[in-house]
A = this chain, B = another copy of it.
Amino acid sequence: MSHNTFGHLLRVTTWGESHGPALGCVVDGLPPGIRFTVAEIQADLDRRRPGQSRFVTQRKEPDEVKVLSGFVEDGDALVTTGTPVSMLIENVDQRSKDYGDIARQYRPGHADFAYEAKYGIRDHRGGGRSSARETAARVAAGALARKVVPGLVVRGALVAIGEKDIDRANWDWDFIDDAQNPFFTPDRASVPVFADYLDGIRKAGSSVGALIEIVAEGVPPGLGAPIYAKLDQDIASGLMSINAVKGVEIGEGFAAARLRGEDNADEMRMGNDGRPAFLSNHAGGILGGISTGQPVVARFAVKPTSSILTPRRSIDRDGREVDVMTKGRHDPCVGIRAVPIGEAMVACAIADHYLRHRGQTGKG
């Protein structure tokens, strides 16, 4: 079954394919009275937009967002009314192309085979509903979700590309959106390393994966639930719903399995401000499924795209054995553009839980 909605009180529904006339989303449950501008949403979309460096797909899409409902105008800004906000992005660069082979072949590592096993029919053009273009709708939704929780700041960073890691000692949030930084890396020194590495990958007709880290600051304590509505569970679900993501972790994540209890537990003392303070954040801001007030830290792994120039063995719909090579515009590392998408998904999960928490407890 095709479920294209996520969230419980803040509900995001997305729709659209890569090569249809448009794609978009409906954001339902936003509190009334939130001020925003179309430019703010556009700014987030521009960060995800393709064609901005040689390391991402050259498809030219302006990704210009139109806001169709759910607001009244107030001076230069728009203000939510509490009714659903519908946003639409037209597909512009649907380059005419012969998809004849791909329409019949199952590209290894792609959803083609599984998709056809499910539906018996598929829109093969650009991946159809499985296209990464769908994530533009999430980013637009996330731009509004960020505004739901007062003081919330959600930022992301690329921390590894293939075999290359950043040096966390160099972490500089301000550098991430620097014009000289095509990678969302927080480590200025990593730029030439990543650039050289990716140029090699690209020239080899190959691709490579990436690791992304999302940090949410200003998350009030108390969001989430002990069971089945854990904040980390819903963040994991959201991140895992991004195309090509194969793993998600919170705080120490997989490394926690290697630690001892006394090393993994975050001790507490009273802070200088007279408020409870944690002395570390192995938990990634979430204990027992509920936010502690520390920064929420999530990480996810993006696999290398299977759209590569290196031929791979496969079959077609008739069971004929074929070799598949994906020509055309593709990202050598799809993980790069996943940074703003991950931010959007984390922002949506936190905003939803903020409203849910307020609903049950009256707090917030």
Contacts and interface: CB of A to CB of B under 8 A. Distances in A.
A8 to B, nearest CB: 7
B227 A129 contact: yes
Interface in A188-236: 201, 206-211, 221-230, 232-234, 236
B288 A243 contact: yes
Given A15-B86, A113-B268, A247-B248, A211 B2 contact: no
B240 A232 contact: yes
Contact of A209 (B31, B162, B247, B256): B256
A13 B83 CA distance: 12
Contact of A5 (B11, B134, B207, B353): B11
Interface string A146-167: 0000000000000010110000
Interface string A81-111: 1111110100000000000000000101111
Nearest to A283: B109
A179 interface: no
Given A236-B240, A248-B247, A360-B2, A261 B304 contact: yes
Given A108-B266, A304-B261, A69 B15 contact: yes
Given A206-B262, A227-B134, A319-B270, A121 B32 contact: yes
Residue among A14, A115, A310 with max Cβ neighbours from chain B (10 Å)? A115
Contact of A269 (B81, B304, B315, B364): B315
30 contacts: A1-B359, A2-B226, A3-B356, A4-B229, A15-B68, A17-B69, A20-B68, A32-B121, A68-B88, A82-B121, A111-B226, A117-B221, A117-B292, A130-B226, A130-B227, A207-B260, A209-B259, A233-B237, A237-B240, A241-B289, A246-B254, A247-B257, A249-B301, A264-B303, A265-B308, A270-B319, A270-B321, A274-B319, A276-B315, A359-B359
B31 A228 contact: no
Contacts of A282: 109
Contacts of A264: 109, 209, 303-304, 306
A2 B304 CA distance: 37
Interface size class of A (residues with CB under 8 A): 35 or more
B123 A308 contact: no
A29 interface: yes
A362 B364 contact: yes
Nearest to A86: B15
A206 to B, nearest CB: 5
A246 B241 CA distance: 18
Contacts of A142: none
Contact of A310 (B243, B261, B310): B261
A5 B206 contact: no
Interface in A108-132: 108-111, 113-115, 117-123, 128-130
Contacts of A232: 240, 246
